Chain A
């Protein structure tokens, strides 16, 4: 099954705080980011990827329409997911994060986001280590993810540092 990027519009952050924003001295600890999906047919959301910048905990809420008659409802998919184990230190502060549909039991995307096909059962977590032969066959599929590694230099260096025998250098370059 192929995966595609879903175009979305990410709005600017809005601070959640009590009182008048202009006169209040305090800095709010909670910010809200709205994400909308303009003119997209219903899809099955697999993964959300983003780069963190000093957010400690993340909650995701989704607004869903159940039918034409009832008003739209907000549903919490994820509550206080920890991105920074110690918010006063740098751990996790600028990490790349992916949230998957199957990641944890509390993480459920509402059915309305799915295609009209039967929902897949989440794979059972194996006890202990996965079966080696199964893993090695799946390595083939994962090869796409190692593009980055393959594109870089191979492990063994040839050892040449000169260009056609010449290594006459005057100055170092700043770029």
Chain B
């Protein structure tokens, strides 16, 4: 068999294997059995008739969407000789760096446990469980003293690790030469240049209509907006994931966004999903985890930040002009409660563990108390293997404006995390990984704004030190909400995070004139502090 055919067979085998355990598989089986009653299904042409039935009834489309989803999320199967670690991250030095970084995080968390004399996890006494259940909807409003808790790490700590990444096989030389990188990132990953970016993001070209520009009040809606909305409605009627993904590259109309994102991420709220979410809530009530306090603290820190309130308040006033002022505050408090609920449930969700097959990170391990070293008592901590850092809750915030039903909001967030967000805080060579994004940002800036780049370097304001926090949080909390949602439309549309680096470079370009005049890092930060007025398109 030729190489290409064997690759295709392997991909098919892998997808079939994965879908076999899914809800969709059981549903298809049930549908196939039920269809035998139908008059058009004949025994002599059984296979063809059932296939035809699936096509007409829309089940084939659901299967197509599921296959498309698998292809988008999972990397292609690698060489048969490649071990599992190779799929997580092919470069050995990056794997080692990720391992060291993880060890630091574990040590930090362990120190916190020891200093505060708090266990990582414990079962709640029945009284406490009842109390939490009663106060569920007021979560976050009155919390115990969180002052002793500190975030496990902040983005700037992570940046220092990335700056120190070195390829042992790469000869950089001690002195500045054409081989050393001018920016902070010193690893030679392949990043796209502008011609390649233009080719990749062709739908963002100037001659193609975009929501965010061509739907502004000065532009007559007949020119672009009306037709675009009509096409969006058609895409939703067809329930085609691939078409939705293509469509959303030009932005999504506000009214259609929630449904479009769900279609692209292949999320349909089935009763099983609602039940699963309820089970997660039960887990939260039964066991208390140390990471819960970290989550509370994170939501509180970010929610009490004036900038956060500003961007979301603004959005609320825009979209719901009839909302009185005090309701905005209540809505935000409720939003904080949902935030916390979603993140606490996320920590208990073991289905998230499967994404570690293609994430360079690995879930932390622990042993049941008193059973250290006994493998049958080894567990992951937290159950989903993800330790939140400072700002983590900002990944959920924008979604609260799209989805109001908690289990659906949860599914969307979880899928966004295992497809995109995890890449923003793990060390890998993936083109959408944070290291590549940093290098892409620096390269774009150096190539197209060399004077600005040089000037900022000279005054000790390396551009990446400013833009890193934007990219790590996918601009959440930095852009106005409607602009942020338009940005995340493109992340979904192109199945890539590269747009974050391009936007970061564009921001510097936009403020270039002011930046050329600053003489310190602090002043540069000030020029770039408020992005909420930027129209990102």
Contact = CB atoms under 8 A, between A and B. Distances in A.
Interface in A77-123: 86, 88-91, 93-98, 100, 102-103, 123
Contact of A90 (B8, B77, B188): B188
A33 interface: no
Interface string A150-171: 1011111111111101111111
B350 A175 contact: no
A169 B367 contact: yes
Nearest to B290: A169
A136 B12 CA distance: 8
A58 B279 CA distance: 55
Interface stretch (A8-16, A37-45, A68-76, A138-146): A138-146
A86 B190 contact: yes
B28 interface: no
A168 B169 contact: no
Nearest to B288: A167
B9 A142 contact: yes
Interface in B179-200: 187-190
A175 B335 CA distance: 39
Contacts of A152: 84, 357
Contact of A163 (B189, B376, B381): B376
A123 B283 CA distance: 56
Contact of A168 (B8, B121, B365, B380): B121
B350 A95 contact: no
Contacts of A32: none
A173 interface: yes
A142 B90 CA distance: 24
Interface string A8-35: 0000000000000000000000000000
Nearest to B80: A145
B148 interface: no
A172 B91 CA distance: 26
A28 to B, nearest CB: 14
A142 B13 contact: yes
Size category of the A interface is 35 or more
B12 to A, nearest CB: 6
B10 A142 contact: yes
Interface stretch (B106-114, B137-145, B303-311, B397-405): B106-114
Contacts of A126: 5
Contact of B353 (A98, A100, A138, A157): A157
B270 interface: no
B366 interface: yes
A170 B122 CA distance: 9
A119 B206 CA distance: 57
Contacts of A143: 13
A103 B3 contact: yes
A119 B106 CA distance: 59
B367 A53 contact: no
Contact of B1 (A95, A97, A138, A165): A138
Interface stretch (B17-25, B458-466, B525-533): B17-25
Contact of A94 (B16, B90, B353): B90
Contacts of A130: 5, 8
Contacts of A162: 287, 379
Contacts of B22: 155-156
Nearest to A144: B80
Given A146-B17, A159-B276, A167 B365 contact: no
Contacts, number: 165
A54 B170 CA distance: 10
B76 to A, nearest CB: 12
A139 B121 contact: no
B380 A172 contact: no
Contact of B350 (A136, A142, A161, A173): A161
Given A125-B2, A172-B110, A96 B21 contact: no
A135 interface: yes
B3 A171 contact: no
B324 to A, nearest CB: 43
A160 B379 CA distance: 10
A65 to B, nearest CB: 30
A89 B190 contact: yes
Interface string B373-386: 00011111101000
A100 B3 CA distance: 8
Contacts of A2: none
A53 B279 contact: no
Contacts of A95: 79, 90
A166 B123 contact: yes
Nearest to B106: A172
Given A94-B90, A172-B365, A155 B169 contact: no
A172 B8 contact: no
Given A142-B13, A163-B377, A169 B368 contact: yes
A49 interface: yes
A167 B16 CA distance: 34
B20 to A, nearest CB: 7
Contacts of B429: 90
B84 A169 contact: no
A167 B379 contact: yes
A149 interface: yes
B79 A98 contact: yes
Interface string B307-347: 00000000000000000000000000000000000000000
Given A49-B79, A142-B13, A155-B19, 11 more contacts: A89-B190, A96-B81, A96-B86, A97-B79, A98-B3, A145-B80, A150-B17, A155-B17, A168-B123, A171-B366, A175-B365
> Lowest 7 A-B CB distances belong to which pairs?
A161-B383, A155-B21, A96-B79, A89-B190, A169-B120, A156-B21, A169-B121
7 contacts: A161-B379, A161-B383, A162-B287, A166-B368, A167-B121, A167-B287, A173-B378
